[in-house]
Homo-oligomer: A and B are copies of this chain.
Amino acid sequence: MSRRDVDALLAQLSEGSKLAAARLISLVEDEAPGHRELLARLLPMTGEGYRIGVTGPPGAGKSSLLDELVVGTRRRGLSVGVVAVDPSSPFTGGALLGDRIRMRRAAEDPEVFIRSLGSRGSLGGLSRQTEGVVDVLDAFGKERIFIETVGVGQSELDVIEPTYTTVVVLVPESGDGIQTMKAGLMEIGDLFVVNKADRDGADLLEAELETTLNARPGLDGWRPRVLRTCATRGEGVEALLDAIEEHRAFLLREGRLSLRRREILMRRLRAAVEDRLVAAAWAGGRREHALEMSLAKLVSGRLSFERLVDTVLPRTLLEQIEQGQVSDAQGDERP
């Protein structure tokens, strides 16, 4: 894709073209050639979209709640984007259809942009895709961007989303499977929602969450809050929207929003550097071949692990990498 084509797409995006947004998202999702540069071009257009993660175990009613949140946000006069990340079922199949039904009202609003991301390739790939799609929606002028993920308390998965406020959705339920997930989820939530709060056990879950949060050291001075909703009846949704806005105001007031944004960008830069390094290491297949040739010696104990790695990564090369020239990117490329 030529520089001129990208320029044209970005201009159309600024003018509010849904087609341009969809096209850019596809480029990001496919990791098409030049997509990194495209993402970098988007950066100056982003920063206004507030990014809200909605996560929780399967069956917690995230999609129904999200439908309510989107409708409620629209009612407040804000534009909305939604990215649903579901690494397990890429689009097809009953589950997504179910989600679509539960997101029906949100999906019917022409001003709401919804995109589902499945899993193509690695988790790292999915993480990059999510960040990129969110950037497109941000540059597209969406003021609130919801990112729905399946959260199971496994931190690397749960924090792949570049969010500012994380809403953890739980239900008063059913077995200790949920228990095991809570520990991990407790770490990442700014707001905790007891959904399906009309069920037995809602009081207990709420009390449990409060106890855990009381024991947990405060994160950045924000005391996470516990709220109750009953998404299918629309109960508690306004209070949840208020709490999201309160957390946003808190981050802005404390100057933490720009810090958070810096962190996200640095993580992306680090990942790009590592990707390039790793790609260079395996280019041409010579190292892979050398490892394969020596595998039998490793297994039989005739060759040590260190020595084998040394053969493909000699110390002199590692020293060159460690000491390699790092310039300061002094000049402005596009003044």
- Name A residues whose Cβ lies closer than 8 Å to a Cβ of B: 36-37, 39-41, 43-44, 47, 57-60, 86-90, 93-96, 98-99, 119, 122-123, 150, 152-157, 174-185, 262, 265-266, 269-270, 272-274, 276-278, 280-284, 286-288, 290-295, 297-309, 311-314, 317-322, 324-329, 332-335
Contacts and interface: CB of A to CB of B under 8 A. Distances in A.
Given A150-B152, A150-B154, A278-B278, 16 more contacts: A58-B181, A60-B177, A88-B152, A88-B185, A94-B176, A95-B179, A150-B181, A270-B288, A273-B291, A274-B281, A277-B278, A293-B328, A293-B329, A302-B334, A302-B335, A311-B327
B326 A154 contact: no
Q: Is the interface of A mostly helix, strand, loop or mixed?
A: helix
> Across chains A and B, which 10 residue pairs bring their CB atoms closest together, nearest first?
A58-B177, A59-B177, A40-B305, A88-B153, A44-B301, A88-B184, A95-B180, A89-B183, A59-B175, A280-B321
Contact of A269 (B94, B175, B291): B291
A123 B157 CA distance: 9
B309 A314 contact: no
Contact of A119 (B36, B155, B321, B325): B155
A94 B313 contact: no
Contact of A295 (B180, B265, B292, B334): B265
A320 B283 CA distance: 11
Given A298-B40, A305-B37, A156 B317 contact: no
Contacts of A282: 270
Contacts of A184: 87-89, 119
Quick one: which of A299, A314, A332 has the most chain B CB within 10 A?
A299
